[in-house]
Amino acid sequence: MDPHLLRTFIAVARCGSFSEAARELGYTQSAVSQHIAALEGDLGAVLLQRRPVSPTGVGVRLLEHAGPLLLRLDAARADIARLTAAPAARIVIGVSPLALTPQLTRTLADIRRTQPLWDVTVRVLSREVITRQVATAALDIGLVDGVAAPNDPLHLPDVGPLTATAVTEQRPAVALPAQHPLAGRTGLRLVDLADARWIDAPDTAIPLAQLRSASGTDGFRPSLRYEGTDVRGLLTLTAAGHGLALLPQPAIEGIPAINSVPVSAPRLVHRTEVLHSNAVDGPAAVLAAALRRAAG
Amino acid sequence: MDPHLLRTFIAVARCGSFSEAARELGYTQSAVSQHIAALEGDLGAVLLQRRPVSPTGVGVRLLEHAGPLLLRLDAARADIARLTAAPAARIVIGVSPLALTPQLTRTLADIRRTQPLWDVTVRVLSREVITRQVATAALDIGLVDGVAAPNDPLHLPDVGPLTATAVTEQRPAVALPAQHPLAGRTGLRLVDLADARWIDAPDTAIPLAQLRSASGTDGFRPSLRYEGTDVRGLLTLTAAGHGLALLPQPAIEGIPAINSVPVSAPRLVHRTEVLHSNAVDGPAAVLAAALRRAAG
DNA sequence: CGTGATTACGGTTGACGTAATCATA
DNA sequence: TATGATTACGTCAACCGTAATCACG
């Protein structure tokens, strides 16, 4: 179970071809074949069907392990490199769409005034990508949002020892078209909306899977899938009646043709957390500390 | 960053000696020295101080990554082996002390009546050990307890794709000596007890760290640390006034000289979850399914 | 000095590439 | 028959052990 073999296995499974994977990895076709043979011999099971190439049952299971495993390995290497390398004055911040709040922009303005030499980039990405890239040092800082019970941390994939601290808490609310029968309410219970039409916008709004686990039901089935990270576009779809979405209340208010109704039960908060490595020095750490401080 | 090198590094750090680690791993002193040199060369940093041997700052950081990494690697290998191997009629169940409820014993009795040939072992262990051993197939099934918000899953360390399902929910309550000033209350807010004397019994009662995160305070400082997995002994200490402990209410009731007062805020549940591999066949899967079914 | 880490060196093993072979659409 | 996976084999590097060396207590 050498990591190299796992890497090859993943590539072959993804490409559906030994030769394609070989090209991608800079190996020969033969080497890839030997890698797979070694893995299969080691584990005592056939991992891939050939012609056409597709993972077997055991192979699928191994894939579930292999990805996170290699991610952690990369994260470890990146974390050590970060400790060793000299801190650069270049900071890349990954932000999930709903984490980009006025409060954050203010803190950012403060930093840029006091530290005009720092080269700061803000990059809007999905939650998963942010977590992965913070772990592997492709990002210096991540700002990730989600819903959770009031005193519970967000449920982020575990990719190693990262620091996560809450910086913003907002009320979660349902975005409804203004003419929706429930649009006039002052509060809504989540379970009452389990059978409504929902838009699944996992990279923009709260993923429906989170609503299912928070409400303890298996409703919230998507009527439309929305890919991308643009909040405005999502709300436009909602206004047109394509389906509801859960967002922090401030993100919904003041949008024409959209009403926001807070979720009254279960008790939930929409929270933004700073995510960064445990490194103690460098601009990234300073900025992360400032974000935490601004949160009080 | 070959896993073998990481394994050696961990052993050396733990033993505080190259030669001792070599003996433990079945290598020569020289091979261990070469392993460490290779790791240090690869990562471009000194990981260990020599004479006496102890990890450097970078080394400590690497250790934080290396343990979970190797655990996941072992878990992956064990999971595949479990898929491949023929299911045995031997089941070992790991149970954390507070997960061993009357309901569980009833389900277990049903199973043993319908399947008298199965060789079932119940082993009481700490939560961490159970999770690790279920992942690495040293246990077939784990039953782990903890507190969480009503619709939130327990926060278990991420060691790979395991199935976790709730089987029991109980009210969490504070165990108080009968003569304690608050012993007559019908409900208590957790924050009001943040400054009380608490016993930290992480393997028996709810770990104080969980109370801190659930209450959002940094109180709940231990006045006494209790190691082991015996509930009765812990309650004896509480009765004698050594400190409080949080347990599921049924576990406290009927104990002499101890009152149980439910936690009224924040809203929490004490939940037991079955933990097992995603394997679909074999006695372990059948038993896990029965446990889930009994939970309704 | 002695214990214990490092370095030098050699044998063996394993990894990858080239090229021939095999199998399937 | 052509594309693409497997097998055979040679080369080279990596790994580990033996043994000599070095360094700290």
Q: With CB atoms and an 8 Å threshold, state whether B152 touches A152.
A: yes
Q: What's the average model confidence in pLDDT over A222-236?
A: 89
Q: Is B215 on the interface with A (CB under 8 A)?
A: yes
Closest Cβ–Cβ partner in A79, A84, A148 for B65: A79
Task: Tell me the shortest Cα–Cα distance from B214 to chain A, in angstroms.
Answer: 5
Interface test with B, best of A61, A263, A280 (most B CBs within 10 A): A61
Q: State the smallest CA–CA distance between residue B101 and chain A in angstroms.
A: 23
Across the interface, whether the CB atoms of A2 and B1 are under 8 A apart is answered no
Question: pLDDT (tens digit, 9 = 90+) per residue, A149-179?
Answer: 888 888 888 888 898 988 889 999 999 998 8
Nucleotide nearest to A37 (CA to C1'): D6
In this prediction, residue B296 carries a pLDDT of 65
Question: Using CB atoms, which residue from B69, B77, B151 is nearest to A266?
Answer: B151
Nearest residue, CA→C1' of C23? A51
Angle at B128 between CA B146 and CA B56, to 5 degrees: 130
pLDDT in tens, A182-223: 888 888 998 889 899 999 999 999 999 989 988 888 889 888
Indicate the pTM of the whole model. 0.87
Which residues, given as ranges, of chain B have pLDDT below 50?
none
Token pair, residue A129, equals: 């990508």
Partner residue opposite A1 with nearest CB, options B43, B58, B73: B73
Q: How far is A127 from chain B (nearest CA, A)?
A: 18
HEC letters along chain A: CCHHHHHHHHHHHHHCCHHHHHHHHCCCHHHHHHHHHHHHHHHCCCCEECCCCEECHHHHHHHHHHHHHHHHHHHHHHHHHHHHCCCCCEEEEEECHHHCCHHHHHHHHHHHHHCCCCEEEEEECCHHHHHHHHHCCCCCEEEEEEEECCCCCCCCCCCCCEEEEEEEEECEEEEEECCCCCCCCCCEEHHHHCCCCEEECCCCCCCHHHHHHHHCCCCCCEEEECCCCCHHHHHHHHHCCCCEEEEEHHHHCCCCCEEEEEEEECCCEEEEEEEEECCCCHHHHHHHHHHHHHHC
* Contact flag B149-A153 (C-beta cutoff 8 Å): no
pLDDT for res A226: 92
Measured CA to CA, the distance from residue A143 to residue A95 in angstroms comes to 5
Q: How far is the CA of A35 from the C1' of D2 (A)?
A: 25
Size of interface A-B (CB pairs under 8 A): 121
What's the maximum distance between 2 C-alpha atoms anywhere in chain B? 67
Identify the pLDDT of residue B173.
Answer: 93
Which nt has its C1' nearest the CA of A28? Answer: C17
pLDDT at B204: 92
> Do A168 and A271 meet the contact criterion of CB atoms below 8 Å apart?
yes
Cβ–Cβ < 8 Å for A165, A117: no
Give the per-residue pLDDT at A14: 94
What is the pLDDT at residue A77? 94
Q: What is the residue-wise DSSP string for chain B? A: --HHHHHHHHHHHHHT-HHHHHHHHT--HHHHHHHHHHHHHHHTS--EETTTTEE-HHHHHHHHHHHHHHHHHHHHHHHHHHHHSPPPSEEEEEE-GGG--HHHHHHHHHHHHH-TT-EEEEEE--HHHHHHHHHTTSSSEEEEEEEE-TTSPP-----SSEEEEEEEEE-EEEEEETTSTTTT-S-EEGGGGTTS-EEE-TTTS--HHHHHHHHTSS---EEEE--SS-HHHHHHHHHTTS-BEEEEHHHHTT-TTEEEEEEEES--EEEEEEEEES--SHHHHHHHHHHHHHH-
Closest chain B residue by Cα to residue A213:
B151
Task: Answer whether B194 touches A (CB < 8 Å).
Answer: no
Give yes or no for B84 touching A (CB within 8 A): yes
Q: Which of B57, B79, B153 is facing A65, going by the closest CB pair?
A: B79
- Residue A81 sits at the vertex; the CA angle it makes with A77 and A86, to the nearest 5 degrees, is 170
A10 neighbors A66 (Cβ within 8 angstroms): yes
Strand D: list positions under 7 Å from protein Cβ. 4-8, 15-20, 24-25
CA separation for the pair A135, A164 (Å, rounded):
12
Percent of chain A with pLDDT over 70: 99
CA of B15 to C1' of D19 (A): 25
CB within 8 Å: A58 and B83: yes
For residue A45, give the nearest of B3, B69, B80 by CB distance. Answer: B80
Contact across the interface for B76 and A216, Cβ inside 8 Å: no
**What's the pLDDT at A257?**
86
| pLDDT, position A58 | 92
* Integer Cα distance of B266 and B128 in angstroms: 25
- A152–B148: do the CB atoms touch at under 8 Å? yes
| Whether the predicted pLDDT of A296 surpasses 70 | no
Residue type, A276: H
How do residues A86-145 score in pLDDT, each as one tens digit?
777 788 999 999 998 888 888 888 888 888 888 888 899 999 999 999 999 999 999 999
Structure tokens of A69? 């495993």
Is B253 (CB) below 7 Å from strand D?
Answer: no
Which residues numbered 226-285 in chain A sit less than 7 A from strand D, measured from CB?
Answer: none
Q: Which of B176, B170, B178 is nearest to B188 (CA)?
A: B176
Beta-carbon contacts of B124 under 8 Å, excluding residues fewer than 6 positions away, are B94, B95, B96, B97, B100, B229
Query: What is the pLDDT at residue B107?
Result: 86
CB contact, 8 Å: A57 with chain B?
Answer: yes
In sequence order, which residues have a C-beta less than 8 Å from that of residue B144 and are 6 or more positions away?
Answer: B96, B99, B127, B130, B131, B154, B156, B272, B273, B275
Q: Does B40 touch chain A (CB under 8 A)?
A: no
Averaged pLDDT for residues A226-244: 90
- CB atoms B213 and A160 under 8 Å: no
Phi, psi of B220 (to 5 degrees): 55, 45
Residue B184 has which token pair?
A: 């007559």
Across the interface, whether the CB atoms of A266 and B150 are under 8 A apart is answered yes
Separation of alpha carbons A208 and A196, rounded Å? 12
Tokens encoding A220: 């919230």
- CB atoms inside a 10 Å sphere around CB A156: 19
- Quote the pLDDT of residue A276: 92
| Contacting B residues, span 63-82, partner chain A, CB-CB under 8 Å | 64-66, 68-69, 72-73, 75-77, 79-81
Amino acid found at A26 = G
